[in-house]
Amino acid sequence: MDFNMKKLASDAGIFFTRAVQFTEEKFGQAEKTELDANFENLLARADSTKNWTEKILRQTEVLLQPNPSARVEEFLYEKLDRKVPSRVTNGELLAQYMAEAASELGPTTPYGKTLIKVSEAEKRLGAAERDFIHAASINFLTPLRNFLEGDWKTISKERRLLQNRRLDLDVCKARLKKAKAAEAKAATVPDFQETRPRNYILSASASALWNDEVDKSEQELRVAQTEFDRQAEVTRLLLEGISSTHVNHLRCLQEFVESQTTYYAQCYRHMLDLQKQLGRFPGTFVGTTEPASPPLSSTSPTTAAATMPMEPSVAGPAPPGEAALCLEEVAPPASGTRKARVLYDYEAADSSELALLADELITVYSLPGMDPDWLIGERGNKKGKVPVTYLELLS
């Protein structure tokens, strides 16, 4: 019990001296040991990394789950170390409603048949969304949370410990400075003609006492300096590890982009299949005589790679002379052929078109009178029409 009381009193004394030193520093009444510029830059870089990681994490959670109540529920399940229950996506719920509506309104009617087809597409979209959320949570959100809840807590703990070591060091410096000033004052030899012998003896005794105090303060300063240097090195190593954290987060970000790209590509394919089933294609509007909006140009590789392609409109009646054109009998022109890289998979609608696979290289050229949205593509012995919006033309 006595030992505990002594330790408690000692800890209270250390806390009080640190508080006094910290307060005097804030009011400019005490000197403060400054860290080197490189160390300060590491601290600022770590703080910036932590702040932006928190913002990116929160906004990504909003992107994946816009419902705040659902996010709070998932957070509570995670804190309680319980499995988050499976949640129906909005697309899957919409698909369920459409299927039920088709069953009640008549699955054999045109409206009912369309509801069934759309419900199947929405169900596939919901499943794709579920897979995307799952992949993004594991590959992107989890590493960010691990950094904030693991590495950053360790860095914060060591930084607080470094702050305490610095305060102890500055307290020792201030104590040594006061002891040396008192020793110098006590070492002044009094005048025997104006000072009593008794006062001279007391002055000599005080000088010896302050000399011992200076030695003690110097010893405490050396110990405090050693502990501060050791803690500064530990903290520096942790702060330099932020570079490795950036590399890890970069890899996770790339995986998130891959997951998002796969998700949107799946959504595009599902909707394209649905439009084909319904007899409507992008750029073709049934029931209106307005011309279809032109597809995005693929002359710019950057623009073509950054946007999902639009299916070219269904070709109308061929001009005279082209209806009887047989692609197998057409020879490529002597000049004007170009290489093209396929941006996305394309399934041929009929025998006159050439099926494409993403990232493959084909030879393309145009014939007089052709629709500008199409080119003739060759791959080995196969030849057929290919949509321009699916290609990146090379030199």
Token couple for 136: 């993004």
Amino acid at the residue 324: A
38 and 144 in a single domain? The answer is yes
- The answer as to whether 123 is a domain residue is yes
Contact between 34 and 227 (Cβ < 8 Å): no
- The answer as to whether 38 is a domain residue is yes
**Enclosing H/E stretch for 375:** strand 374-379
274 and 341 in a single domain? The answer is no
For residues 328, 329, 335 and 341, what is the CA-based torsion angle, rounded to 10 degrees? Answer: -10
Q: What averages of pLDDT result for each successive group of 10 residues across the chain (395 residues)?
A: 59 69 70 86 95 96 83 70 75 93 91 92 93 93 94 94 89 82 66 49 59 80 91 94 95 95 95 83 40 42 44 44 51 76 88 90 88 88 89 83
- Domain stops at, among 280, 303, 319: 280
- The Cα diameter of the chain in Å comes to 135
Q: What are phi and psi of 193, to 5 degrees?
A: -75, -25
256 and 381 in a single domain? The answer is no
Separation between Cα atoms, residue 201 and residue 15, nearest integer Å: 38
- Domain stops at, among 280, 298, 328: 280
Instruction: Tell me, rounded to whole angstroms, the distance of Cα 174 from its chain centroid.
Output: 46
Angle (nearest 5°) at CA 212 between 210 and 216? 115
Separation between Cα atoms, residue 365 and residue 340, nearest integer Å: 10
Amino acid at the residue 331: A
223 and 84 in a single domain? The answer is yes
56 and 146 in a single domain? The answer is yes
Q: Check the CA dihedral 280-286-289-290 and report its sign.
A: negative
End-to-end CA distance of the chain: 86
Residue 367's domain comprises 337-394
Burial of 369 (0-12, 13-18, 19+ CB in 10 A): exposed
The residue among 58, 61, 132 whose CA lies nearest residue 91 is: 132
Token couple for 359: 């990232």
- Residue 346: strand pairing partners: 356
- Residue 307: strand pairing partners: none
Domain CATH for 115? 1.20.1270.60
Separation between Cα atoms, residue 280 and residue 134, nearest integer Å: 33
Separation between Cα atoms, residue 392 and residue 88, nearest integer Å: 39
Tally of residues, the chain? 395
Domain CATH for 375? 2.30.30.40
The residue among 213, 205, 145, 144 whose CA lies nearest residue 176 is: 213
Contact between 260 and 136 (Cβ < 8 Å): yes
- The answer as to whether 291 is a domain residue is no
* pLDDT at residue 395, rounded to an integer: 66
- Domain stops at, among 280, 297, 325: 280
Q: Which residue in this structure is represented by tokens 């009593």?
A: 196
The residue among 392, 96, 142 whose CA lies nearest residue 259 is: 142
Contact between 255 and 140 (Cβ < 8 Å): yes
**Enclosing H/E stretch for 361:** strand 361-365
- Residue 364: strand pairing partners: 338, 377
363 and 243 in a single domain? The answer is no
Separation between Cα atoms, residue 235 and residue 148, nearest integer Å: 17
Separation between Cα atoms, residue 328 and residue 342, nearest integer Å: 22
- The answer as to whether 303 is a domain residue is no
- The answer as to whether 317 is a domain residue is no
Q: What are phi and psi of 361, to 5 degrees?
A: -105, 135
Contacts of 272 (CB under 8 A, 6+ apart): 282, 311
